[in-house]
Amino acid sequence: MEPIFPKWTNRIPLYLGIGIPLLVIAIVTGIWYYFSPKFLAVGYEPEQPIAFSHQLHAGQMGIDCRYCHSGIDKTEIAPLPPTETCMGCHNKVKKDSPRLELLHKSYKNKTPIPWVHVYSLPRYSHFNHSAHLTAGVGCVSCHGDVSKMETIRLVSPLSMGWCLECHRDPMPNIRPQNQITNMIYDPHASGYIPTNDPDYKDKLIQPPQACGACHY
């Protein structure tokens, strides 16, 4: 008597035993990644270990982004400010404030402040800060007007589609090099034309759109 079902059906339990767990893992990973505010949810605003007000420092006091985030125009990754940078001012300014207790403890013990990253990308994506700043893309294009933020929050989706919008049409985000960190500079109101700028006239402002430009 010939079998009712073909021999390959004997492997169905094996396939299900392997496939179902993998499917569950994929679903859980997808939900964790796409529905988590940690990476892509606009509005993500974590509480920081020290209540640092960008509205006060960058807005009212006019401190340039590069004072705290030094090297952003020279390195791929934007560094978070080390304790020593903060102490450059706060060894005298409000040095007895209880809100800065963790700062002084960090400085004394030579331990870093556990700042919470707001802008993070998956490991398979790379964003070079120096390349973008050198090309004339201002901080505000990705981070929004931090001079009006008491606490830093995520204002950009950081999705591939969002990045490609700028790579396909970068000109609206290009500004003079001396205005890179200026939060209120409006290139349209100023009549700025990147192709007439000596800093860019010899450069071909055509951001790459190939996969390997960001995924490597």
Find out whether 211 is annotated in a ligand binding site.
Answer: no
Q: Which residues of 82-99 are buried (b: 16+ CB within 10 A; e: fewer)?
A: ebeebbeebeeeeeeeee
DSSP string, 103-149: HHHHHHHT----PPPSS---TT----HHHHHHTTB-HHHHH--GGG-
Compute CA distances 200 → 128, 172, 174, 177, whole Å.
18, 14, 10, 9
Find out whether 89 is annotated in a ligand binding site.
Answer: yes
Q: How far apart are CA 86 and CA 63, in angstroms?
A: 12
Find out whether 54 is annotated in a ligand binding site.
Answer: yes
Find out whether 166 is annotated in a ligand binding site.
Answer: no
Find out whether 215 is annotated in a ligand binding site.
Answer: no
Q: How far apart are CA 154 and CA 52, in angstroms?
A: 16
Annotated binding site for heme c: 54, 57, 65, 68-69, 89-90
Annotated binding site: 54, 57, 65, 68-69, 89-90
